[in-house]
């Protein structure tokens, strides 16, 4: 009976994986980049060991997908669709490495297939995707090493794989370094002291350090910009508050959902009771608690922290779910039903005009992040036209600038190496390093691109410039304008800059285009 139930769960996992892959591949052909994705795609154009928000692995991944340049949205999302579909199966292998039977390991795969934070969140080109893959590989390899004879080749190889995966996780997001907590506590236990007399742990630390040396050396040479940005520049209003607590708790309820949270509680309670029963349980317990505590404290302190930062702490629980007693049928059904419903809702929200029809006049485009995925098809074409006209009419290579990194990133990801992009933001960002403000201010022709999320006038932002052309596009969903994008040509107030224009027009030109969004 148990074997038949396990086989049925595995078949369900295969069918769900195929369905999710199909949905993701459909979206891959229809949507553009979200704002954060566009920034990571832009990383591919500026190879560095690290950036202000993250170490450099996501930029390297984007560069591979883009064949040495910034990837297109469709190619990036095709790659992420495949990698995201692989995550639950890597989790299943990690559970097997931790000692779970094949049938029981299907619980891990099923949880990772349907929990919204993974099923929906890992579709994007973000550091969370390589982090999840590397984290699960590290959990599986670490558990396998602890189940092996300390002096065996298998123990050595598994420990080295753990170190390499932990290093790649850290190069995805700094929080990946918290994997060392579980590793350290497990290997320092009295029952595991014999492992410290082998080469395995010391070789593992060497591999981990070797992977991180280029990034750490670059950070040091640049004055630790990531730490400055994350812990200082972006934390003007930091401090523990009920608002931050609400954001953390609300985020877990939304991203993980109540049934999965209850399942995580039951599995975590079993893991806590068994934390000293064996080395693998100790490793998984501290691989849960070690990341959870500092990440939760950071979310409670920082107003700009995001609730999904806590996601890695759940992965060890997903692995242990295959070793713990099975959840009740009612809980399993609630998890499966809720997960499937949320995934279907997310797909419908992005791929159809259902949200606008459902909410009617209450729909507020500004707060719908799905519009980020649709706006820069029309917006990119508008920018291409404006750039081509500026280049042909002024005989100068125009520089594109925006008011905030979210606009600059979309412009840079779309244009690739065809134009330089600067940023006129109030807070330092990566664009200040790639094209410093003092350099783009010297350019005679600027194309200022912004959208309806920003209430500004380019001429007031740069008062020493003359507006010589304005073009715009309205992005529509179901016939309704959900975003407007403007490109304003600004030229320096000098006779040399104006000469090519004198014979052609007495005043600024206005161009307007209406373009339907992807769901018109």
Tens of pLDDT, residue by residue over 127-178, are 999 999 999 999 999 999 999 999 999 999 999 999 999 999 999 999 999 9
Residue 488 confidence class, pLDDT cut points 50, 70, 90: very high
Residue 504 confidence class, pLDDT cut points 50, 70, 90: very low
Res. 509: pLDDT tops 80 = no
At 129 the pLDDT is 96
Place of tokens 């595991």: 192
Pairing of strands 445-451, 465-477: unpaired
At 1 the pLDDT is 41
**Mean pLDDT, rounded, for 312-325:** 95
Residue 323 is given by DSSP the state T
Res. 520: pLDDT tops 70 = no
At 175 the pLDDT is 94
Alpha-carbon distance 351 to 23, whole Å? 10
At 5 the pLDDT is 55
At 508 the pLDDT is 53
Nearest to residue 74, comparing CAs of 7, 142, 148, 125? 125
Residue 517 confidence class, pLDDT cut points 50, 70, 90: very low
At 193 the pLDDT is 86
Q: Do 484 and 472 meet the contact criterion of CB atoms below 8 Å apart?
A: yes
Q: What are phi and psi of 466, to 5 degrees?
A: -105, 135
At 494 the pLDDT is 63
Res. 485: pLDDT tops 70 = yes
**Mean pLDDT, rounded, for 398-418:** 95
> Which uninterrupted H or E stretch holds 400?
strand 399-402
Taking CA atoms, 138 is separated from 89, 95, 121, 279, 326, in Å, by 14, 11, 21, 15, 24
Res. 6: pLDDT tops 60 = no
At 60 the pLDDT is 96
Q: Do 78 and 84 meet the contact criterion of CB atoms below 8 Å apart?
A: no
At 149 the pLDDT is 93
Secondary structure percentages of the chain, helix, strand, coil, to 5: 65, 10, 25
At 466 the pLDDT is 92
Residue 394 confidence class, pLDDT cut points 50, 70, 90: confident
Res. 120: pLDDT tops 50 = yes
Res. 264: pLDDT tops 90 = yes
Res. 519: pLDDT tops 50 = no
Alpha-carbon distance 53 to 167, whole Å? 17
At 352 the pLDDT is 85
Q: Please report how many Cα atoms fall inside a 13 Å half-sphere around the Cα of residue 310, on the Cβ side.
A: 24
At 514 the pLDDT is 52
What percentage of the chain reaches a pLDDT higher than 90?
Answer: 73
**Mean pLDDT, rounded, for 338-351:** 91
85-109, pLDDT tens digit by residue? 999 999 999 999 999 998 899 999 9
**Mean pLDDT, rounded, for 472-489:** 92
Nearest to residue 53, comparing CAs of 296, 309, 294, 248? 309
Taking CA atoms, 412 is separated from 163, 345, 380, 396, in Å, by 35, 31, 10, 19
Q: Classify 173 as helix, strand or coil.
A: coil
Q: Which residue has the higher pLDDT, 480 or 138?
A: 138
Alpha-carbon distance 16 to 134, whole Å? 22
Nearest to residue 87, comparing CAs of 59, 126, 54? 126
At 333 the pLDDT is 93
Residues with Cβ within 8 Å of 414's Cβ and at least 6 positions away in sequence, in order, are: 38, 376, 379, 380, 383
Helices (H), 115-199: 116-119, 128-147, 153-172, 179-188
Residues with Cβ within 8 Å of 188's Cβ and at least 6 positions away in sequence, in order, are: 196
Q: Do 369 and 306 meet the contact criterion of CB atoms below 8 Å apart?
A: no
Rounded to a whole number of angstroms, the distance between the first and last alpha carbons of the chain is 51
Res. 497: pLDDT tops 50 = no
Residues with Cβ within 8 Å of 350's Cβ and at least 6 positions away in sequence, in order, are: 27, 31, 370, 373
**Mean pLDDT, rounded, for 193-207:** 92
Q: Which of 215-219, 364-368, 428-432 is predicted least confidently? A: 364-368
Res. 502: pLDDT tops 50 = no
Res. 265: pLDDT tops 60 = yes
At 506 the pLDDT is 38
Nearest to residue 517, comparing CAs of 386, 356, 385? 356
**Mean pLDDT, rounded, for 288-305:** 92
16-72, pLDDT tens digit by residue? 999 999 999 999 988 999 999 999 999 999 999 999 999 999 999 999 999 999 999
Res. 3: pLDDT tops 70 = no
Average pLDDT, the chain: 90
């Amino acid at each position: 009976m148990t074997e038949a139930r396990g086989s049925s769960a595995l078949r369900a996992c295969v069918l769900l994986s195929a369905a999710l892959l199909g949905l993701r591949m459909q979206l891959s052909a229809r949507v553009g980049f979200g704002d954060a994705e566009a920034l990571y795609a832009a990383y591919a154009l500026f190879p560095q060991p690290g950036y202000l928000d993250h170490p450099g692995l996501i930029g390297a991944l984007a560069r591979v997908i883009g064949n040495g340049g910034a990837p297109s949205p469709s190619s990036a999302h095709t790659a992420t669709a495949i990698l995201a579909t692989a995550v639950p199966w890597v989790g299943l292998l990690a559970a097997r490495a931790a000692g779970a039977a094949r049938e029981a390991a299907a619980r891990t795969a099923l949880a990772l297939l349907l929990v919204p934070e993974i099923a929906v969140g890992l579709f994007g080109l973000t550091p969370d995707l390589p982090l999840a893959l590397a984290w699960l590989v590290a959990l599986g390899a670490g558990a396998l090493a602890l189940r092996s004879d300390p002096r065996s080749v298998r123990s050595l190889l598994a420990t080295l794989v753990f170190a390499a995966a932990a290093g790649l996780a850290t190069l995805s997001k700094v929080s990946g370094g918290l994997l060392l907590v579980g590793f350290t506590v497990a290997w320092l236990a009295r029952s595991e002291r014999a492992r410290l007399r082998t080469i395995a742990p010391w070789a593992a630390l060497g591999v981990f350090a070797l992977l991180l040396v280029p990034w750490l050396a670059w950070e040091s040479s640049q004055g630790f910009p990531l730490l400055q940005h994350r812990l200082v520049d972006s934390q003007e209003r930091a401090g523990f508050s009920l608002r931050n607590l609400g954001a953390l708790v609300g985020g877990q309820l939304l991203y993980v959902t109540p049934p999965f949270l209850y399942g995580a509680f039951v599995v975590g309670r079993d893991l806590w009771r068994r934390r000293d029963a064996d080395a693998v349980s100790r490793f998984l317990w501290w691989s849960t608690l070690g990341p959870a505590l500092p990440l939760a404290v950071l979310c409670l302190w920082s107003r700009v922290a995001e609730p999904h930062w806590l996601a890695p702490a759940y992965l060890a629980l997903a692995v242990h779910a295959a070793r713990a007693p099975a959840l009740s049928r009612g809980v399993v059904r609630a998890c499966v039903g809720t997960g499937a419903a949320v995934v279907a809702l997310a797909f419908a929200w992005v791929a159809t005009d259902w949200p606008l029809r459902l909410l009617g006049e209450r729909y507020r485009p500004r707060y719908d992040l799905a519009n980020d995925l649709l706006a820069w098809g029309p917006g990119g074409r508008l920018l291409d036209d404006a750039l081509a006209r500026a280049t042909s009419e002024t005989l100068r290579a125009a520089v594109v600038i925006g008011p905030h990194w979210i606009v600059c990133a979309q412009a840079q990801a779309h244009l690739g190496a065809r134009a330089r992009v600067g940023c006129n933001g109030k807070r330092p960002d990566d664009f200040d390093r790639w094209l410093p403000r003092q350099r783009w201010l010297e350019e005679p022709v600027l194309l200022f691109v912004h959208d309806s999320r920003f209430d500004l006038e380019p001429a007031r932002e740069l008062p020493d410039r003359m507006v010589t052309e304005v073009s715009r596009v309205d992005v529509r969903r179901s016939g309704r304008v959900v975003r407007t994008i403007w490109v304003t040509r600004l030229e320096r107030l000098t006779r040399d800059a104006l000469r090519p224009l004198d014979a052609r027009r007495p005043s600024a030109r206005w161009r307007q285009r209406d373009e339907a969004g992807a769901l018109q």
